[in-house]
Structure 1
């Protein structure tokens, strides 16, 4: 109910009330409105004591030279104007039968002794004040001076002014206010004020609109922005491949920005461990997603895998190895123990130290399936720290991608492998070309670069419609997710010319 009030009723009120005020002001009560205001009403005092008493002396003299005994003179200037919405015609003035005057300006306690029309907004209005127009002045028995004004037709904003000289007839102190009498059909008479300020109505309407805008702004800030269509909310934990971890973390960050109700947690410990956790927890009731750079194999029949991207991998060496390019055959010989010194493959006189990922790693599976033609020798059980301190050739294993890259960078004569973007971001390493081919999307598309794998997303069965797992998978294969995949040097499956490249392979 409150949402309906603020989202519908408040904006409608912000439109209806000003429109209603406009219609009331200019159509109902102001359609035909004759306004008048006193612009000057001042006593004439002190003139005889000044050096310029001629005007007052002439006013007091009669035509035969006698002098009137005028007491307490005043001068009044009155403006009569059409301040309505339509034209006022002569027929709009309602008067007594056979009366030519349309309005009557009264001055209590004063007598009119002279008057003149001083200003016409339209010179054509002068004909309205001819001798037979009804324009004149008179005195009522009650001591009220009256100026009779003719039925002047006025267009919108037309006006004229009357200047009158008056004499007090009774009373003392401030003069009573003048009074305008008359009837205008379809509207009325209104005593107006000067237009130097802002009308009370305009102030009230402006204040009301400011309050409406402020209220809507506060509500707009207070209410959360609705999530875009297709957003899913809830919690999702992503586990699995450390090689694809940067891509997934960045994609999850962007998804949370777009869909504020989504929250992600991570547990990247390798592809095999990710799939095992997904299997053991039965998908965490839909809150668990695994990423792997190896297919699921026969050990995980309940898992559903979806290819996401073709991922480029690189072989990396310590700079002391003295090589920049290796053939696929040389890489096989190095990892299968047939070469123990780098000088045998054109490098420095330096023992070869192989740094491997543990069995079950998706990166190791990709490396062995793409570049090796037979299994590697058994691991000797030596830690990488021990291998680094020794002087002979050897091999060790690491659990995570970052550990492998760190060990290769710290161990003289070391060789290893990882996802290409991670390798490029690690200082102290040399990414070797393979048979002269660089790890680029162009080389991969041309069919020349041999070291690549497919990154998969795994669910325990299909995610429920509307769940965060289903929404995040759509995001990963959509345009935004593909942009992230490309940024990290990989090739979205949607970009692959040969769909067979992304086809799941048996483990």
Structure 2
């Protein structure tokens, strides 16, 4: 009888061991499956982030997104983020078509004809100020809005008419697809169409041409005024500064939108969350010449109406 009891106890212990091992293996399998589903995303600190995405659009926004992408990839070497420019229209078109995961724009999607804005999700990453940029030897650093319109519509053709040097004015514009152009035309030129001049796809190229062409004038985001190669113009005596944009005194500014087709997933979702993190919003944005949207004392809607927050 004693032997029977010992045999029974041995059998019970053995069965418990089998059940425990089976449960443990099942948990491991579930964890592995969950990890596979997290490819390209991260929900907990320390988990591996991998995958690749392509971002295109606004050249005014490119320096910020490129810098953030490089920081992100340094921290996550298995992630690959390609950042292209091409203009806001290009970014909106490509994200709408699904050829890129994120489309950057200086303007609301609703402002661009032919863009299915209802299919896109807007992520307002930052605010950027813009102003007219002139060759350093033009002889002026301030211009009235009225005269600025006259310059860009071809009514004023020499800087001496504004108290500057005796030098013919050369206009440098962005193409119609550019969000920087749209913002400048709307808020600096009151909707007036610029006269013919040099047209360049990239803000980097615009800056280079202005710096190398006596008499040249164009327009750039604040983030491009990093040296003395071009001069940023004050408008009606108001300096082109972050503070003046934030309090609503300087009129030429735009949200920096990152659009996704539907709600973002995977690496696109994680990277957009990174763009809104303190690391980017508090540190990188001001370093790169951008303004955190949360610091704005005024706001704008898709129709361009500005109101106090």
- What TM-score does the superposition give when structure 1 sets the normalisation length? 0.48
Q: For the residues of structure 2 that align with 1:231 and 1:443, how far apart are their CA atoms?
A: 42
Structure 1 position 412 matched with structure 2 position 214: yes
- The Cα of 1:433 is off from its aligned counterpart by 1.4
1:490 pairs, out of 257, 282, 290, with: 290
1:479 pairs, out of 274, 278, 294, with: 278
Count of residue pairs the alignment pairs up:
258
Q: Check whether the contact 1:295–1:456 (CA below 8 A) recurs between aligned residues.
A: yes
Moved over 3 A (4+): 229-232, 503-506
Q: For the residues of structure 1 that align with 2:302 and 2:280, how far apart are their CA atoms?
A: 20
- The Cα of 1:283 is off from its aligned counterpart by 4.9
Structure 1 position 296 matched with structure 2 position 97: no
Q: For the residues of structure 2 that align with 1:374 and 1:504, how far apart are their CA atoms?
A: 15
Structure 1: stretches of 5+ with no match in the other structure: 1-225, 380-394
Q: For the residues of structure 1 that align with 2:170 and 2:291, how far apart are their CA atoms?
A: 31
Q: For the residues of structure 2 that align with 1:488 and 1:296, how far apart are their CA atoms?
A: 24
User: By percentage of residues, which structure has more strand?
Assistant: 1
Q: 1:461 to 1:408 in 2, by over 3 A?
A: same
Structure 1 position 398 matched with structure 2 position 200: yes
Q: For the residues of structure 2 that align with 1:411 and 1:461, how far apart are their CA atoms?
A: 44
2:159 pairs, out of 342, 352, 355, with: 342
Structure 1 position 317 matched with structure 2 position 170: no
Q: Check whether the contact 2:103–2:258 (CA below 8 A) recurs between aligned residues.
A: yes
1:355 aligned counterpart, secondary structure: strand
1:332 aligned counterpart, secondary structure: helix
2:39 maps to which residue? Answer: none
1:330 pairs, out of 129, 147, 167, with: 147
- The Cα of 1:378 is off from its aligned counterpart by 5.2
Q: 1:429 to 1:377 in 2, by over 3 A?
A: closer
Q: Check whether the contact 1:293–1:455 (CA below 8 A) recurs between aligned residues.
A: yes
CA-to-partner distance for each residue in 1:153-207, whole Å, 9 max, x for gaps?
A: xxxxxxxxxxxxxxxxxxxxxxxxxxxxxxxxxxxxxxxxxxxxxxxxxxxxxxx
Q: Which protein, 1 or 2, shows the higher relative CO under an 8 Å CA cutoff with sep ≥ 6?
A: 2
CA-to-partner distance for each residue in 1:367-422, whole Å, 9 max, x for gaps?
A: 0111112432553xxxxxxxxxxxxxxx2211110111111111111101111121
Choose 1 or 2 for highest CA Rg. Answer: 1
Q: For the residues of structure 1 that align with 2:186 and 2:219, how far apart are their CA atoms?
A: 13
Q: For the residues of structure 2 that align with 1:471 and 1:417, how far apart are their CA atoms?
A: 33
- The Cα of 1:230 is off from its aligned counterpart by 7.7
Paired residues for 1:347-366 under 5 Å: 347-366=164-183
Q: For the residues of structure 2 that align with 1:367 and 1:237, how far apart are their CA atoms?
A: 27
Q: For the residues of structure 1 that align with 2:107 and 2:233, how far apart are their CA atoms?
A: 23
Structure 2: stretches of 5+ with no match in the other structure: 1-42, 305-309
- The Cα of 1:481 is off from its aligned counterpart by 1.9
What RMSD, in angstroms, separates the aligned Cα atoms of the two structures?
Answer: 2.2
Q: Check whether the contact 2:247–2:297 (CA below 8 A) recurs between aligned residues.
A: no
- The Cα of 1:505 is off from its aligned counterpart by 4.3
- The Cα of 1:303 is off from its aligned counterpart by 2.2
Q: For the residues of structure 1 that align with 2:195 and 2:230, how far apart are their CA atoms?
A: 26
User: By percentage of residues, which structure has more helix?
Assistant: 2
